[in-house]
Amino acid sequence: MQDFSTKNLGLQRRTLLQSAGALAAASAAGWAGLAHAADWPARPVNLIVPFPAGGGTDTFARPFSAQFAKTSGKTLVIDNRGGAGGTLGASIAAKAAPDGYNFFMGGTHHVIAPSVYPKLEYDLERDFIPLALLASVPQVVVVNPKKVQHTTLQALVNDLRANPGKYNYASAGPGSSHHLAGELFKLQTKTQITHIPYKGAGPALQDLIAGNVDMLFDGLGSSAQHIKGGRIKALMVAGAQRNPAFPDVPCAAECGLPDFTVTTWYGLWAPKGTPAVVQQQMLEEVRKIGAADDIKSAWAKNGADYGQLSQTQFASMVQSEVQRWAHVVKAAGVKIDS
């Protein structure tokens, strides 16, 4: 039986008034948010790059930043936060304010990390919103020509099989795409190569050039200029086709490794909670940047493709890549105690 007492009616009235006030406040906040987003970007935008300067991610992040300034008239600040195979920067990005002024440029490393790190301070799917694929470039097997004097991949593989552990390979860190590409190569060629982890692709590449390590499984983008300059030698590019930027380098299929299809890709994420309207504005900037001649030239020079996926397609790709690398990690028995 309903209570129509004066006391109860007063309580109901107060509840209705409180609800109406809360709804009005929420509506006002929503409109304020939209008004704020309409002015985006009203100040410099921060792009967290989870590797040191000079690595593969920087190869694409810096031209992207420069073109952002041209198309939007605002600054996109590159914030290099290297360490722990790219997971330190990802953790920082996950905790960044979702106000539309913080974004994260991650990639292949970050779909591998959930399978190799027992504990992460972030969850790629829970803490981020996938926005766009920015660059996709095949991996390449590069060697220091003074330390590894073979001119073909098959000659190197024969040497590796005859002398297990004779050579080593550098990586951007445990669990990075460089590391897992090396493990996949070892599985498919039935060879043994010693893994030497670094704190980023930049330091690993510099040590390869200096002759302190023998090999590197690198994204073609960061190695391209050094291959052209003769400082390192490319023996194979991953995948079923040669790369137009390096037509003289045989592809994996030609080298007897048809399943070695390793791509280093770089994508753009926003912290969870970033306003949807800002996401769409950033995606429009991404579209404008990709259409610019300077970007087309920079990407082609590095043997890369600019992303053509929708936001939904990119999200699906990320999920698929997480599953794919989990299988490789399990087969290789890769574990990281940190």
Same domain, 109 and 199: no
* 128 and 51 inside one domain: yes
> Do residue 50 and residue 132 come from a single domain?
yes
10 Å CB burial of residue 287 (0-12, 13-18, 19+) is exposed
Count up the domains in the chain and report the number.
2
Question: What residues contact residue 124 under an 8 Å CB cut-off, 6+ apart?
Answer: 90, 110, 111, 113, 114, 318, 322
pLDDT in tens, 264-319: 899 999 999 999 999 999 999 999 999 999 999 999 988 899 999 999 999 999 99
Q: What is the pLDDT of residue 54?
A: 80
**Phi then psi for 247, rounded to 5 degrees?**
-65, -15
Burial class (CB in 10 A: 0-12, 13-18, 19+), 71: middle
Residues 89, 225 within the same domain: no
pTM for the predicted model, two decimal places: 0.78
The answer to whether residue 242 is domain-embedded is: no
Pairing of strands 305-306, 128-143: antiparallel
Q: Over 60: is that where the pLDDT of 30 sits?
A: no
Q: What is the pLDDT of residues 236-270, one digit of tens each?
A: 999 999 999 899 999 999 999 999 999 989 999 99
Q: Is residue 1 part of a domain?
A: no
The answer to whether residue 19 scores a pLDDT higher than 50 is no
Q: How confident is the model at residue 177 (pLDDT cuts 50, 70, 90)?
A: confident
Q: In this structure, are 148 and 127 located in the same domain?
A: no
pLDDT for the residue 6? 41
Same domain, 56 and 191: no
Tens digit of each residue's pLDDT (9 = 90 or more) over 198-218: 988 889 999 999 999 999 999
CATH number assigned to the domain comprising residue 318: 3.40.190.150
> Among the three residues 193, 219, 237, which one is the final residue of a domain in this structure?
237
Range of the domain at 78: 45-137+264-332
- pLDDT for 67-84, tens place per residue? 999 999 999 999 999 888
State the CATH number of the domain containing residue 151: 3.40.190.10
pLDDT at 156 over 90: yes
Say whether both 148 and 203 belong to one domain.
yes
